[in-house]
């Protein structure tokens, strides 16, 4: 495997890891928001998801 292909593979693996980590963070925060609103953690709403997504994006950009 050439160095270029190895680098591409490393980037792909990192992107996949970041994607999965973000999904886990969003799921956890969405469940938490539902719970805080007085619902069961699995009774999430679209608003819960959108709020969790906004918070995650804000946290990402504030860390740059």
Output the pTM of the full model: 0.74
The reported pLDDT for the residue numbered 1 is 56
Give the integer Cα–Cα distance in Å for 25 and 51.
12
**H-run or E-run covering 7:** helix 3-36
If we measure between CA atoms, which residue out of 62, 55, 54, 29 comes closest to residue 44?
Answer: 29
Tally the domains of the chain.
Answer: 1
pLDDT in tens, the chain (64 residues): 577 788 888 888 988 988 899 999 999 999 999 999 999 988 999 999 999 999 998 988 888 7
Supply the range of the domain harboring residue 20: 3-62
């Amino acid at each position: 495997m050439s160095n270029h292909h190895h680098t591409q593979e490393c980037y792909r693996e990192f992107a996949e890891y970041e994607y999965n980590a973000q999904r886990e963070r969003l799921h956890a925060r969405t469940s938490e928001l539902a719970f805080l609103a007085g619902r069961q953690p699995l009774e999430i709403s679209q608003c819960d998801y959108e709020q969790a997504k906004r918070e995650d994006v804000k946290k990402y950009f504030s860390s740059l």
